[in-house]
Amino acid sequence: EAQVTQNPRYLITVTGKKLTVTCSQNMNHEYMSWYRQDPGLGLRQIYYSMNVEVTDKGDVPEGYKVSRKEKRNFPLILESPSPNQTSLYFCASSYNTGELFFGEGSRLTVL
Amino acid sequence: AQSVTQLDSQVPVFEEAPVELRCNYSSSVSVYLFWYVQYPNQGLQLLLKYLSGSTLVESINGFEAEFNKSQTSFHLRKPSVHISDTAEYFCAVSQFQGAQKLVFGQGTRLTINP
């Protein structure tokens, strides 16, 4: 089954404790992206990657890092999480046609 | 830069009634337009898209949207809604046909009452 898989789905952590949200897709998509969803703000792009070893900042990259060492994986790293990073995070991938395939989301709470 | 405004944060309607979800965009260049749907506790799914050609585009489940360049709008309509249409709907715009720099609106929560 074609899918985008994110882990963990739910996480509660404390300020400053490094965490990684993994994202993996099995559709051989070149394009991958991370978004955060906050009430009243819709989805905002954090980082995106056009291909392996090619990443670029989205609209809200501060406080986040990404890497794209393999085509299928695109982890999101929070080196020192803060409470304003409490959000619902979505990973997405695409053949770069404008149709994004989303994961089920990762709800992160930073205390 | 592009931006998207969805004019209604919530739209309640009765089952079998028509509905329109409004979307306006701003851009200094030609754009490509999308509607995504998010069912409860799920990720987003593409509902329909306008890339070129006919300004009226349709989805497989009865929704349609019309690209109006003069009014910079891409409103989503359905003539008769079902309970299963309850979801949040996001309008999105890009200056590229690809997925990079896809800008989303704030979302409209559609609630269908029996």
Q: What is the pLDDT of residues A38-60, one digit of tens each?
A: 988 889 999 999 999 999 999 99
Q: Which of A57, A48, A41, A46 is nearest to A93 (CA)?
A: A48
Residue B34, C-beta contacts closer than 8 angstroms, at least 6 positions apart: A98, B46, B47, B48, B49, B50, B91, B92, B93, B94, B102
Can you read off the two tokens belonging to residue B79?
A: 């003539």
- In this prediction, residue B97 carries a pLDDT of 65
Tokens for B93, please give them: 């715009």
Flag whether pLDDT at A13 surpasses 90: yes
Q: How far is B47 from chain A (nearest CA, A)?
A: 9
Interface test with A, best of B8, B59, B100 (most A CBs within 10 A): B100
Residues A107 and A87: their CA atoms lie apart, in Å, by 6
What's the average model confidence in pLDDT over A19-42?
94
Per-residue model confidence (pLDDT) at position A99: 81
The predicted structure's pLDDT at residue A40: 84
B53-112, pLDDT tens digit by residue? 888 999 988 999 999 999 999 999 999 999 999 999 999 998 776 667 788 999 999 999
Q: What's the pLDDT at B5?
A: 94
Residue B54 sits at the vertex; the CA angle it makes with B37 and B43, to the nearest 5 degrees, is 10
- Residue B98 has what pLDDT? 66
Residue carrying structure tokens 């929560």: B109
pLDDT score at A54: 94
**Other C-beta atoms lying within 10 Å of the C-beta of residue A73:** 15
Q: What percent of chain A has pLDDT over 90?
A: 86
Chain A residues lying within 8 Å of B6, measured CB to CB: 42
Answer yes or no: do B104 and A42 touch at CB < 8 A: yes
CA A68 to chain centre: 12
Q: Could you tell me how far CA A88 lies from the centroid of its own chain?
A: 10
Kindly indicate the confidence band of residue A96, based on its pLDDT and cuts at 50, 70 and 90: low
Backbone angles phi, psi at B80, to 5 degrees: -155, 110
Instruction: Give yes or no for A38 touching B (CB within 8 A).
Output: no
Q: What is the mean pLDDT of the segment spanning A90-98? A: 85
In the structure encoding, which two tokens stand for residue B62, read together? 């009865």
What pLDDT, on a 0 to 100 scale, did the predictor assign at position B8?
A: 94
Please name every residue paired with A95 in a beta bridge, in sequence order, or none if there are none. Answer: none
Is residue A17 predicted with pLDDT exceeding 70? yes
